[in-house]
Amino acid sequence: MERRFASHPNEVKQFDTERLRKEFHIPVIFAPDELKLVLTHEDRMIVGGANPVNGEVALTTDLKELGVTYFLERRELGIINVGGPGSVVVDGTEYEVDFKECLYVGQGSKDVIFKSADSAKPAKFYLNSAPAHQSYPTTKTTLAESESGAMGGLENSNERTIHRFIHTNGVQSAQLVMGMTQLKPGSMWNTMPSHTHPRRMEAYFYFDLPDDSIVFHLMGEPTETRHIVMHNEQAVISPSWSIHSGVGTHNYTFIWSMAGDNKRYDDMDPVGMKELQ
Protein backbone atom coordinates (compact mmCIF):
# COMPACT_ATOMS: atom_id res chain seq x y z
CA MET A 1 0.00 0.00 0.00
CA GLU A 2 1.38 3.37 -1.04
CA ARG A 3 1.32 6.22 1.48
CA ARG A 4 0.61 9.90 0.73
CA PHE A 5 1.06 12.57 3.38
CA ALA A 6 -1.26 15.47 4.15
CA SER A 7 -0.53 18.89 2.65
CA HIS A 8 -0.60 22.58 3.50
CA PRO A 9 -1.90 25.14 0.96
CA ASN A 10 1.09 27.42 1.45
CA GLU A 11 3.35 24.57 0.37
CA VAL A 12 1.19 23.30 -2.50
CA LYS A 13 1.14 26.67 -4.26
CA GLN A 14 4.91 26.19 -4.80
CA PHE A 15 4.56 22.80 -6.54
CA ASP A 16 5.45 22.24 -10.16
CA THR A 17 3.49 19.78 -12.31
CA GLU A 18 5.62 16.77 -11.38
CA ARG A 19 5.32 17.38 -7.63
CA LEU A 20 1.59 18.12 -7.86
CA ARG A 21 0.99 14.80 -9.60
CA LYS A 22 3.24 12.92 -7.18
CA GLU A 23 1.27 14.13 -4.16
CA PHE A 24 -2.33 14.03 -5.41
CA HIS A 25 -2.64 12.06 -8.66
CA ILE A 26 -3.23 8.27 -8.57
CA PRO A 27 -2.38 7.06 -12.09
CA VAL A 28 -2.99 3.31 -11.68
CA ILE A 29 -6.11 2.05 -9.95
CA PHE A 30 -6.46 -1.34 -11.66
CA ALA A 31 -3.90 -4.06 -12.41
CA PRO A 32 -4.90 -7.63 -13.39
CA ASP A 33 -5.27 -9.93 -10.39
CA GLU A 34 -3.95 -7.28 -8.02
CA LEU A 35 -5.18 -5.08 -5.20
CA LYS A 36 -3.92 -1.50 -5.59
CA LEU A 37 -4.22 0.78 -2.55
CA VAL A 38 -3.15 4.33 -1.70
CA LEU A 39 -3.47 5.59 1.88
CA THR A 40 -3.68 9.37 2.15
CA HIS A 41 -3.25 11.14 5.47
CA GLU A 42 -6.07 13.46 4.37
CA ASP A 43 -8.65 12.05 6.83
CA ARG A 44 -6.93 8.62 6.48
CA MET A 45 -8.88 7.75 3.33
CA ILE A 46 -7.75 4.72 1.33
CA VAL A 47 -8.30 4.84 -2.44
CA GLY A 48 -7.77 1.81 -4.64
CA GLY A 49 -9.04 -0.92 -6.88
CA ALA A 50 -9.35 -4.69 -7.26
CA ASN A 51 -9.27 -6.25 -10.73
CA PRO A 52 -9.80 -10.04 -10.53
CA VAL A 53 -9.11 -11.58 -13.96
CA ASN A 54 -7.70 -15.12 -13.68
CA GLY A 55 -8.65 -15.65 -10.05
CA GLU A 56 -9.94 -14.05 -6.88
CA VAL A 57 -8.44 -10.99 -5.21
CA ALA A 58 -8.57 -10.61 -1.43
CA LEU A 59 -8.77 -7.38 0.56
CA THR A 60 -5.49 -7.53 2.41
CA THR A 61 -2.36 -5.44 2.89
CA ASP A 62 0.53 -4.89 5.30
CA LEU A 63 -1.55 -4.46 8.44
CA LYS A 64 1.29 -2.76 10.29
CA GLU A 65 0.44 0.35 8.28
CA LEU A 66 -3.05 0.33 9.82
CA GLY A 67 -2.14 -1.03 13.27
CA VAL A 68 -4.90 -3.66 13.23
CA THR A 69 -5.27 -7.43 12.89
CA TYR A 70 -7.52 -7.31 9.80
CA PHE A 71 -8.31 -4.63 7.24
CA LEU A 72 -11.81 -3.62 8.34
CA GLU A 73 -11.24 -3.99 12.08
CA ARG A 74 -11.59 -0.21 12.45
CA ARG A 75 -12.60 0.74 8.92
CA GLU A 76 -15.55 0.69 6.51
CA LEU A 77 -15.47 0.18 2.75
CA GLY A 78 -17.35 1.49 -0.27
CA ILE A 79 -17.15 -0.46 -3.55
CA ILE A 80 -18.39 0.49 -7.03
CA ASN A 81 -17.91 -1.84 -10.00
CA VAL A 82 -16.83 -0.02 -13.18
CA GLY A 83 -16.08 -3.17 -15.20
CA GLY A 84 -17.76 -6.44 -16.14
CA PRO A 85 -20.11 -8.45 -13.91
CA GLY A 86 -18.60 -9.61 -10.65
CA SER A 87 -19.24 -10.37 -7.03
CA VAL A 88 -17.90 -9.58 -3.60
CA VAL A 89 -17.83 -12.24 -0.89
CA VAL A 90 -18.06 -10.77 2.62
CA ASP A 91 -17.52 -13.28 5.43
CA GLY A 92 -18.96 -16.06 3.30
CA THR A 93 -21.96 -14.15 1.89
CA GLU A 94 -21.70 -13.42 -1.85
CA TYR A 95 -23.10 -10.19 -3.33
CA GLU A 96 -23.39 -9.79 -7.09
CA VAL A 97 -22.17 -6.32 -8.05
CA ASP A 98 -22.74 -5.31 -11.67
CA PHE A 99 -21.58 -2.27 -13.66
CA LYS A 100 -22.10 0.98 -11.72
CA GLU A 101 -23.57 -0.84 -8.72
CA CYS A 102 -22.38 -0.10 -5.18
CA LEU A 103 -21.68 -2.29 -2.17
CA TYR A 104 -21.02 -0.93 1.31
CA VAL A 105 -19.09 -3.20 3.70
CA GLY A 106 -19.28 -2.32 7.37
CA GLN A 107 -16.65 -2.21 10.09
CA GLY A 108 -15.81 -5.61 11.55
CA SER A 109 -16.12 -7.62 8.33
CA LYS A 110 -13.08 -9.91 8.31
CA ASP A 111 -12.89 -11.59 4.90
CA VAL A 112 -13.59 -9.69 1.67
CA ILE A 113 -12.99 -11.44 -1.66
CA PHE A 114 -13.43 -9.94 -5.14
CA LYS A 115 -14.44 -12.15 -8.09
CA SER A 116 -15.23 -11.72 -11.80
CA ALA A 117 -18.03 -13.61 -13.54
CA ASP A 118 -16.10 -13.74 -16.84
CA SER A 119 -12.33 -13.42 -17.19
CA ALA A 120 -12.83 -12.05 -20.72
CA LYS A 121 -14.82 -9.15 -19.23
CA PRO A 122 -13.37 -8.80 -15.74
CA ALA A 123 -14.89 -6.74 -12.99
CA LYS A 124 -13.13 -3.58 -11.84
CA PHE A 125 -13.98 -2.74 -8.26
CA TYR A 126 -13.16 0.85 -7.29
CA LEU A 127 -12.59 1.09 -3.53
CA ASN A 128 -12.79 3.81 -0.89
CA SER A 129 -12.18 3.07 2.80
CA ALA A 130 -12.41 5.40 5.79
CA PRO A 131 -11.89 4.91 9.52
CA ALA A 132 -15.13 3.91 11.29
CA HIS A 133 -16.34 4.32 14.86
CA GLN A 134 -19.51 2.25 14.43
CA SER A 135 -20.50 -0.83 12.46
CA TYR A 136 -23.29 -0.70 9.87
CA PRO A 137 -24.65 -3.64 7.85
CA THR A 138 -23.20 -4.63 4.50
CA THR A 139 -25.64 -3.23 1.92
CA LYS A 140 -25.88 -3.24 -1.87
CA THR A 141 -27.52 -0.47 -3.89
CA THR A 142 -27.98 0.30 -7.59
CA LEU A 143 -28.34 3.40 -9.75
CA ALA A 144 -32.11 2.90 -9.81
CA GLU A 145 -32.22 2.72 -6.01
CA SER A 146 -29.93 5.68 -5.40
CA GLU A 147 -31.08 9.19 -4.53
CA SER A 148 -30.63 10.90 -7.89
CA GLY A 149 -31.05 14.42 -9.18
CA ALA A 150 -30.39 16.39 -12.34
CA MET A 151 -28.11 19.42 -12.22
CA GLY A 152 -26.75 22.00 -14.63
CA GLY A 153 -27.75 22.54 -18.21
CA LEU A 154 -26.48 22.03 -21.74
CA GLU A 155 -26.17 25.79 -22.24
CA ASN A 156 -23.38 25.77 -19.62
CA SER A 157 -21.87 22.44 -20.76
CA ASN A 158 -22.61 20.88 -17.37
CA GLU A 159 -25.82 18.86 -17.73
CA ARG A 160 -25.39 15.92 -15.38
CA THR A 161 -27.09 13.46 -13.06
CA ILE A 162 -25.84 12.97 -9.51
CA HIS A 163 -26.41 9.59 -7.84
CA ARG A 164 -25.92 9.38 -4.06
CA PHE A 165 -25.23 5.84 -2.80
CA ILE A 166 -23.68 6.05 0.68
CA HIS A 167 -25.02 9.13 2.48
CA THR A 168 -27.32 10.30 5.26
CA ASN A 169 -30.53 9.45 3.38
CA GLY A 170 -29.22 6.30 1.69
CA VAL A 171 -26.89 3.47 2.65
CA GLN A 172 -25.76 4.18 6.20
CA SER A 173 -22.10 4.51 7.20
CA ALA A 174 -19.97 5.82 10.04
CA GLN A 175 -18.44 8.64 7.98
CA LEU A 176 -17.94 7.55 4.37
CA VAL A 177 -20.01 9.38 1.73
CA MET A 178 -19.91 8.04 -1.82
CA GLY A 179 -21.70 8.54 -5.11
CA MET A 180 -21.42 8.94 -8.86
CA THR A 181 -21.96 11.80 -11.31
CA GLN A 182 -22.73 11.12 -14.97
CA LEU A 183 -22.29 13.92 -17.50
CA LYS A 184 -24.62 14.04 -20.50
CA PRO A 185 -23.24 14.08 -24.08
CA GLY A 186 -22.12 17.59 -24.94
CA SER A 187 -21.35 18.44 -21.30
CA MET A 188 -17.82 18.58 -19.93
CA TRP A 189 -17.81 20.69 -16.74
CA ASN A 190 -18.31 19.31 -13.24
CA THR A 191 -18.71 21.10 -9.90
CA MET A 192 -18.54 24.61 -11.33
CA PRO A 193 -19.21 27.04 -9.69
CA SER A 194 -16.79 25.35 -7.34
CA HIS A 195 -16.72 24.99 -3.56
CA THR A 196 -14.64 23.75 -0.68
CA HIS A 197 -15.76 21.82 2.41
CA PRO A 198 -13.13 22.33 5.13
CA ARG A 199 -14.80 19.65 7.25
CA ARG A 200 -14.24 16.83 4.72
CA MET A 201 -11.65 15.70 2.18
CA GLU A 202 -12.72 14.22 -1.15
CA ALA A 203 -11.43 11.87 -3.83
CA TYR A 204 -12.48 11.78 -7.49
CA PHE A 205 -12.21 8.80 -9.85
CA TYR A 206 -12.75 9.56 -13.55
CA PHE A 207 -13.95 6.88 -15.99
CA ASP A 208 -16.19 6.34 -19.06
CA LEU A 209 -13.60 8.51 -20.82
CA PRO A 210 -12.33 7.61 -24.33
CA ASP A 211 -8.62 6.79 -24.54
CA ASP A 212 -7.89 9.88 -26.63
CA SER A 213 -9.69 12.24 -24.21
CA ILE A 214 -8.60 13.89 -20.96
CA VAL A 215 -10.02 15.77 -18.00
CA PHE A 216 -8.36 18.85 -16.56
CA HIS A 217 -8.97 18.44 -12.82
CA LEU A 218 -8.81 21.76 -10.99
CA MET A 219 -7.57 21.99 -7.41
CA GLY A 220 -5.95 24.42 -4.99
CA GLU A 221 -7.17 27.37 -2.99
CA PRO A 222 -9.74 29.46 -4.88
CA THR A 223 -7.15 32.21 -5.39
CA GLU A 224 -4.29 29.78 -6.19
CA THR A 225 -5.78 27.21 -8.58
CA ARG A 226 -3.77 24.44 -10.21
CA HIS A 227 -4.66 21.66 -12.62
CA ILE A 228 -3.84 17.97 -13.03
CA VAL A 229 -4.39 16.18 -16.35
CA MET A 230 -6.44 13.01 -15.81
CA HIS A 231 -6.91 10.03 -18.11
CA ASN A 232 -9.50 7.25 -18.01
CA GLU A 233 -9.70 5.25 -14.75
CA GLN A 234 -7.45 7.52 -12.74
CA ALA A 235 -8.09 9.10 -9.35
CA VAL A 236 -7.11 12.29 -7.56
CA ILE A 237 -6.99 13.29 -3.89
CA SER A 238 -8.57 16.60 -2.89
CA PRO A 239 -7.62 18.12 0.49
CA SER A 240 -10.40 19.76 2.49
CA TRP A 241 -9.07 23.27 1.75
CA SER A 242 -9.02 22.74 -2.02
CA ILE A 243 -11.60 23.22 -4.73
CA HIS A 244 -12.30 20.08 -6.79
CA SER A 245 -13.69 20.66 -10.24
CA GLY A 246 -12.89 19.70 -13.79
CA VAL A 247 -13.52 19.98 -17.49
CA GLY A 248 -13.00 17.28 -20.11
CA THR A 249 -12.52 17.05 -23.85
CA HIS A 250 -15.44 14.57 -23.83
CA ASN A 251 -18.27 13.80 -21.42
CA TYR A 252 -17.38 11.29 -18.69
CA THR A 253 -18.49 9.80 -15.38
CA PHE A 254 -16.78 10.26 -12.04
CA ILE A 255 -17.11 8.70 -8.59
CA TRP A 256 -16.78 11.03 -5.63
CA SER A 257 -16.15 10.02 -2.05
CA MET A 258 -15.73 12.00 1.14
CA ALA A 259 -14.63 11.46 4.73
CA GLY A 260 -14.44 13.87 7.63
CA ASP A 261 -16.49 15.48 10.37
CA ASN A 262 -19.98 14.92 8.96
CA LYS A 263 -21.95 13.15 6.23
CA ARG A 264 -23.96 16.12 4.91
CA TYR A 265 -23.66 16.18 1.14
CA ASP A 266 -24.75 19.83 1.05
CA ASP A 267 -22.25 21.03 3.67
CA MET A 268 -20.00 23.11 1.45
CA ASP A 269 -18.56 26.63 1.25
CA PRO A 270 -19.47 28.07 -2.20
CA VAL A 271 -16.84 29.90 -4.22
CA GLY A 272 -18.06 32.65 -6.54
CA MET A 273 -16.85 32.59 -10.12
CA LYS A 274 -15.24 36.03 -9.70
CA GLU A 275 -13.24 34.75 -6.72
CA LEU A 276 -11.33 32.17 -8.77
CA GLN A 277 -7.78 32.96 -9.80
CB 228 within 8 A of CB 247: no
What are the angstrom distances between the C-alpha of 58 and each of 90, 120, 230? 10, 20, 28
3-state secondary structure 134-149: CCCCCEEECCCCCEEE
Annotated binding site: 195, 197, 202, 244
Which residues, listed in sequence order, are joined to residue 151 by a DSSP beta bridge? Answer: 160
Number of residues that this document lists for the chain: 277
Q: What residues form the annotated binding site for Zn(2+)?
A: 195, 197, 202, 244
- Please, what is the end-to-end C-alpha distance for the chain in angstroms? 35
Burial 79-108 (b: 16+ CB within 10 A, else e): bbbbbbbbbbebeeeebebbebbbbbbbbb
